[in-house]
């Protein structure tokens, strides 16, 4: 990430944990460990959280800190040296990372094109006094295997299939050979947050973030991710190809996207579990989503810097939008009305209520949710802006390649032209009305429709903490 060299007399190798928030199957941590051993230096893992990221809120802060609490416990049990630093206000510009990096031989961090990670890393690398290396742990197949943008699932699928077996080979993790001396640890002068002892809600309440988006029932961390994966493997996987089509079936999809988005569980671990347990047809269906479409999304955001704009769409979509820009809309809604879920359509409103209440949305309703906004806004650009805002503010898998690729798909990305229709033009249409006949939405409306309770209780904290500590041991 910069032209500087490794500093031979540095006191340690620093791993700056950003988007890969785990100790297991973490290629950046693996590389940092190798380099620390090569240089004869200890390894320090640093994770920070500040209030300046886009849509910073109690929801996103709590989810990350729940995962960090587990990392801290696992680090102690496994023998890593890990610290978590919470920056509470925007005015606090102590630059803890710079302070630590000034004493490092090398800084290793995560490679990610979204959520501001790449831009943040580039800014740091410009001022860092030593070499900075970013390592890809996002997908199953390394992103550098695809040096150009892939334009459809059909183009990337055969390339992924050739590399899947070797990419899923288990790799044994090892600890660094040297520990950071206590005197060096103390001399860093860092205000570390004792995650095992603090009340997370109280700490988050002191942060300068959006407190109107509350935490949700879904817990963060590897233990919760693995518990969710276990339920899916034992229940939803057997008839995955059919069950994933019905929004009322909450166990019919993996619902692992929040954990994958924050790097709290490795995509490779999920894929291996599924391949070991699934019938051939169901495993193929799941890998089409988990491998093909997810890796296509990663490639899109890595190779196309315009992934959040209409400019990322193919030329045929731009021609269609130009021809149909002035088509009359049957209904128009501003962002506030959409955010409150107060449109004329009960199914769309239910999907928005699920998103606001849980931080997630079923795959099927998410497509309908995104497609419908195109019909209800004056311009395609406004539709894109509304979808990005709603998704990134409320979804725990927001600001992620999968989210951006999914929203772009609603506008025709990765797709082909269809017969022209008003407003849609040649973009693939999806009808909320037809969805009622095609999918099982009755139960979904009962759960999330008007008048239904949308308050989901938080998981029992003590019980989950016991699970976290058991997992750490």
Task: Give me the pLDDT at residue 466, please.
Answer: 41
pLDDT at 473: 33
Where does CATH 3.40.50.620 sit in the chain? 1-137
User: What confidence score (pLDDT) does residue 382 get?
Assistant: 98
Q: Range(s) for CATH 1.25.40.80 in the chain?
A: 139-172+222-303
**Alpha-carbon span 43 to 46, nearest angstrom:** 10
DSSP class per residue in 291-360: IIIHHHHHHHHHH-TTTTSGGGS-HHHHHHHHHHTTPPPS----HHHHHHT-SS-HHHHHHHHHHHHHS-
pLDDT of residue 90: 87
Which architecture characterizes domain 1-137 according to CATH?
A: 3-Layer(aba) Sandwich (3.40)
Q: Which CATH class is domain 139-172+222-303?
A: mainly alpha
> Per CATH, is 309-448 categorized as 2.60.40.10?
no
pTM of the model: 0.94
The full DSSP string for 217-239 is SPPPSHHHHHHHHHHIIIIISTT
Neighbouring C-beta atoms of residue 321, cutoff 10 Å = 22
- Rg, Å, the chain Cα set: 23
What tokens were used for 214? 């509350």
pLDDT score, position 152: 95
Best CA proximity match to 177, nearest among 276, 18, 37, 72 = 37
Which residue, among 41, 65, 190, 247, has the nearest Cα to 130 in the 3D structure?
Answer: 41
Over the chain (473 residues), the average pLDDT of each successive run of 10 is 97 98 98 98 98 97 98 97 96 87 98 97 97 97 97 96 95 95 93 96 97 97 97 89 87 94 98 90 88 97 98 98 97 98 96 97 94 98 98 98 98 98 97 86 89 53 40 37
Q: What is the pLDDT of residue 107?
A: 98
**Per-residue model confidence (pLDDT) at position 248:** 86
Residue 453: predicted pLDDT: 59
pLDDT of residue 454: 55
């Amino acid at each position: 990430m910069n032209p500087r060299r490794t500093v031979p007399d540095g006191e340690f190798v620093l791993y700056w944990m950003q988007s890969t928030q785990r100790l297991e199957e973490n290629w950046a941590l693996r590389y940092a460990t190798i380099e620390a051993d090569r240089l004869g230096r200890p390894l320090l893992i640093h994770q920070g959280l500040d209030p300046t990221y886009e849509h910073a809120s109690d929801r996103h802060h709590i989810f990350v800190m729940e995962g960090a609490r587990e990392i801290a416990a696992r680090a102690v049990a496994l023998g890593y040296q890990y610290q978590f630093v919470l920056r509470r206000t925007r005015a606090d510009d102590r630059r803890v990372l710079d302070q630590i990096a000034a004493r490092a031989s090398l800084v290793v961090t995560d490679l990610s094109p979204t959520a501001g990670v790449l831009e943040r890393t580039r800014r740091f690398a410009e001022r860092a006094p030593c070499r900075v290396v970013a390592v890809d742990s996002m997908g199953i197949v390394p992103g550098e295997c695809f040096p150009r943008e892939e334009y459809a699932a059909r183009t990337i699928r055969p390339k992924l299939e050739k590399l899947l077996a070797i990419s899923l080979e288990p790799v044994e993790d090892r600890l660094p050979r040297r520990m950071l001396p206590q005197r060096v640890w103390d001399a860093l002068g860092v205000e570390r947050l004792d995650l095992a002892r603090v009340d997370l809600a109280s700490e988050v309440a002191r942060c300068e973030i959006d407190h109107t988006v509350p935490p949700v029932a879904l817990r963060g961390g590897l233990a919760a991710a693995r518990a969710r994966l276990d339920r899916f493997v034992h229940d939803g996987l057997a008839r995955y190809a059919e069950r994933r089509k019905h929004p009322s079936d909450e166990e019919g999809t993996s619902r692992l996207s929040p954990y994958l988005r924050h790097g709290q569980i490795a995509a490779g671990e999920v894929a291996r579990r599924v391949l070991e347990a699934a019938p051939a047809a169901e495993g193929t269906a799941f890998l089409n989503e988990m491998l093909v479409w997810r890796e296509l999304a990663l490639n899109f955001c890595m190779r196309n810097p315009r992934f959040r704009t209409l400019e990322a769409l193919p030329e045929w979509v731009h021609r269609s939008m130009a021809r149909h820009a002035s088509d009359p809309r049957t209904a128009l809604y501003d962002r506030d009305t959409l955010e409150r879920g107060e449109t004329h359509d009960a199914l769309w409103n239910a999907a928005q209520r699920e998103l606001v209440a849980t931080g997630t949305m079923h795959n099927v309703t998410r497509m309908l949710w995104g497609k419908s906004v195109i019909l209800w806004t004056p311009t395609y650009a406004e539709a894109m802006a509304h979808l990005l805002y709603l998704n990134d503010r409320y979804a725990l898998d927001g600001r992620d390649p999968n989210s951006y690729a999914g929203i772009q798909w609603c506008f025709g990305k990765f797709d082909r032209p269809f017969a022209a229709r008003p407003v849609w033009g040649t973009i693939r249409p999806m009808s909320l009305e037809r969805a009622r006949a095609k999918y099982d939405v009755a139960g979904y409306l009962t759960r999330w429709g008007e008048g239904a309770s949308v308050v989901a209780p938080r998981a029992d904290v003590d019980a989950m903490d016991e699970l976290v500590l058991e997992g750490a041991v």
